[in-house]
Amino acid sequence: MKPVASNKPFKRILLTGAAGGLGRVLRERIKPWADIVRLSDIVDMGEAQEGEEIMPCDLSDKAAVHTLMQEVDVVLHFGGISTENNFEAIMQANILGTYHIYEAVHQAQVKRVIFASSNHTVGYYKTTDYIDAHMPMRADGMYGVSKCFGETLSRYYFDRFGIETVCVRIGSSFPEPVNPRMMVTYFSYDDLLELLRCALFTPRVGHTISFGVSNNPASWWDNRYASHLGYQAKDSSAAFAHKFPNSGAYPVADDITTLYQGGAFLLTGPQYK
């Protein structure tokens, strides 16, 4: 039988980190954008459903990442270690892994990457600061440093080879805020999907850094340098305000987790005495 012509925008999207919290949310929801969603992770992803391909891969394995990239149109790079950890582990998954992704993207002539960066690239700014994406990065730990590496690496691949990337400095993308900090950093799943849609379908993005955050009552982040994406958040943490009646008292003096934007990440890793 003759194959039915598809009118989906992409033939194949690669999603790394497909077994993770966000990967499992995106798995189903990005299907309208591609004939095939290629799912990859280092852990079990279950059975392939219609319109899916499952390709397990350790991001630190260069040859495997190159195989993963064959016939891919665009990449949503969400795989890697997602919280503070020892440097060796972070180096393998996030630093070497992201380097492998970009080398493979270059070799396979993939045109665009969406990189799941993090608010922890700027976690050492104060919670009284209002920052934009042109201000210097101030990572709050080795995890944040690895995301700074990914942002810098993607800038290099754009400047040298013209490979476009949207780095999304994701705030806190979970079903709902679970502490007062997340009243500021909350990024609903619907808004995440909308920002990804903007990042994929805006004709020219060059190298863009966007804060991934909903339209929350308070904000630390000015998204002016990503305005060309046209992202408009529809959700707000205000819907959960009843859970944190005292969040107006934030920050709390002498509580480091409320003084810096990185929150509890300030208490991970080596501490100054």
Catalytic positions, written as ranges: 143
CB of 125 to ligand 15L, least distance (A): 13
Cross-strand bridge partners of residue 89: none
Q: In what order do the strands lie in the sheet with 74-77?
A: 52-54, 34-40, 10-16, 74-77, 112-118, 164-170, 207-212
Residue span 119-158 as binding mask against ligand NAI, x where in contact by CB under 6 A, dash where not: ----------------------------------------
CB of 40 to ligand 15L, least distance (A): 18
Residue 145 contact partner, candidates ligand NAI, ligand 15L, none, CB within 5 to 8 A by sort of partner:
none
Report 36-95 residues binding ligand NAI (CB under 6 A): 41-43, 58-60, 78-82, 93
Q: How far is the CB of 196 from ligand NAI (least distance, A)?
A: 11
- What are the Cα distances from residue 36, in Å, to 9, 18, 134, 223, 243? 11, 14, 36, 32, 40
Q: For residues 193 and 131, what is the distance between their CA atoms, to the nearest angstrom?
A: 23
State which residue, 144 or 229, has the beta carbon closest to ligand NAI.
Answer: 144
Kindly state the tokens that stand for 61.
Answer: 């394995």
Per CB under 6 A, residues contacting ligand 15L are 82-83, 118-120, 172, 185
Of residues 233, 190, 187, 227, the one with CA closest to residue 205: 227
Contact flags string 162-181 toward ligand NAI, x per CB under 6 A: --------x-xxx-------
Q: How far is the CB of 235 from ligand NAI (least distance, A)?
A: 14
Strand 112-118 and strand 34-40: pairing? unpaired
